Every structure is written in structure tokens, then in C-alpha cells.
Structure 1
């Protein structure tokens, strides 16, 4: 599916993983996809979000607040590290050796997995793009996909900015032109 994303779409999805890791989360949720869209500043989604006064730094803060309110802590993958350590596997040493051999940051552990809500949003990205007659998926389609997942935390983050999902959807649809690859 990733091959059907535009370059900006790929950038946003990759940035969502970076955002999750930077926040110490060992999962990628809809909230991280939202952050990834904001990080892909030149995309249609970022422009629509900025038009609603949603900015990346405050969205990061709101993501942390929303997740903490839901009882989700940033563990930085510590449970997985502890489990491997109990088997005699030193993840820190593996990371050091990978950094030495392949460059800093080449090895990230654990690799965050997508939550069911994020997977639903990405599946809905495909549906949104196809409904608009597109063969590739840009940031606008990812945002439209996010807006279809009411149980995801992205909508709670947007609510903290007083963003109405219906209005945002209309805005995105009005701006939805194919993004350059």
C-alpha cells in the first residue's frame, strides 16, 4: 500500500513514526499520523490544519495530554527491552553496535506498531482517495481517513483546537487536488 502514497504522503507517514518514537510511544496511533501530517508542512493536509490554527508543537503537547488523560504513558519501549533483557539480550549494546556500523539512529527498538485505529485510518485513506478518483494517496487523503475514525485520539487532539471535523473535511475536500509526487 505504501507504494501508492505520494512523496509527501510517504513523508507524513514516516514522520508519524518519528513523532511516536520522539514522544516515547511504542505505537503509532491516529494522533501520531496527525503529527506526521503537520510535520509534512508543504502538504495539503498541513495547509488545511494550519488554516484551523493547528500547529505542530502544540499538537505534540495536546497528544501527550490526551494520551495521559486516557491512562497511556510514554514507556519508550521499556517493557519490550525488559523482556529481552530477561532472556539475556542487551538491546542497548545492539543499538550501540548498529550505530557504529550503520550510523546513528539506524536501529530503533522497538519499532512502533500501528494501532487498530491508525490501520483503519490508513485503510480509509485508500477509500477516500478512490472516492475522489485518485490512484495515489496524498496528505489530504490521510487526513480525510483520520477524520473517519471517531475512536482515534487524533479527533481529541483536534477538539482541543476547537476544530470541527465536518468543517475540516469540507475544507480539505475543497482543497483536494492531486499533490505532486
Structure 2
């Protein structure tokens, strides 16, 4: 599926993975997708989000607050590392070797998995792109997909930031129409 994404959309997805890892989460939710989109400020979705007054730092703070309130703690993948350690695999030594041989950050373990809500949002990305007659999926389609999915903590972050999902959708569609003309 990711082969149909534009370079900026792929970059946003990579940034969402990076955000999840940096926050110590072993999953990628719609909240991380939102953070990834905010990190691509030269993209359609990033531009619209910034125009709506949404800043990456504030969205990150709300993400952490919402997850803590839901009882979700940042484990940094420690349970998986502990399981491997119990059978004699030293993940930290692998990390050191990878950093030495391939550069810092070359090895990330565990790689976060997408939550069902994030998967649904990414599936809706396809529908949104097709509805707009697009063959490639851009950041605007990821944001529209997230909004169309109608669930996930990314929408909770937007609500905490007092962003109306319908108004945001209209702003994205308006930008897409303006850019197409």
C-alpha cells in the first residue's frame, strides 16, 4: 500500500513511527499519525493543520496527556526486550553494534505496530484519495482518512486542541481544490 503514497506522505508515516518511538510507545495510533502530519509542515495536511493553529509541540503534549489519562504508559518496548533477554538475546548490545556499524538510530526495536484505529485511518486514506480522483495518496488523504475513520486518539487530540473535525475536513478539501486549479 505504501508504494502508492507520495514522498511527503511516506515521510509523514515515518515521522509518526519516530514520534511513537520517541514517546516510548510500542504502537502507532492515529495520535502518532497526526504528529507525523504536523511534522511535514511543507505538505498539504501540515500546512492546513498549522493554519488551524495546531502546533506540533502542543499536539505532542496533548497526546501524552490523553494517553496517560487512558492509563497507557510509555514502556519503550521493554516487555519485548525483557522477553528476548530471558532467552539470552541482548537487544542493547545489538543496538550498540548497529549504531557503530550503520550510524545512530539505524536499529529500532521493537518496531511499533499500527493500532486498529490507525489501520482503519490508513485504509480510509485509499477511499479519500479515490473519491478525489487521485492515484497517489498524499498527506491530505491521510488526514482526510483519519477524519473519515471517525475514531482514534488523534481525534481526541484535535478535540483537546478545540479543532472541529468537520471544519478541518472542509479546510483540507478547500486547499486541495485550490491547489488543483
Aligning the two structures, in what range does the TM-score lie when normalised by the shorter sequence?
A: over 0.9
Aligned residues: 179
In structure 2, the residue corresponding to 1:47 is in which secondary structure? helix
Q: CA RMSD in A?
A: 1.3
* Cα displacement (A) at 1:149: 2.6
TM-score of the pair, normalised by structure 1: 0.96
| Counterpart position of 1:144 | 144
Distance in 1, Cα, partners of 2:78 & 2:150: 29
Distance in 2, Cα, partners of 1:80 & 1:110: 7
* Cα displacement (A) at 1:150: 2.8
Contact between 1:138 and 1:178, CA under 8 Å: does it hold in 2? no
| Counterpart position of 1:18 | 18
TM-score of the pair, normalised by structure 2: 0.96
1:98-177 equivalences under 5 Å are 98-176=98-176
Contact between 1:120 and 1:149, CA under 8 Å: does it hold in 2? yes
| Counterpart position of 1:43 | 43
* Cα displacement (A) at 1:103: 1.2
More helix by share: 2
Any stretches of 5+ residues in structure 1 without a counterpart? none
Q: Which runs of 4+ in 1 moved over 6 A?
A: none
Distance in 2, Cα, partners of 1:178 & 1:169: 14
The answer to whether structure 1 residue 96 and structure 2 residue 67 are counterparts is: no
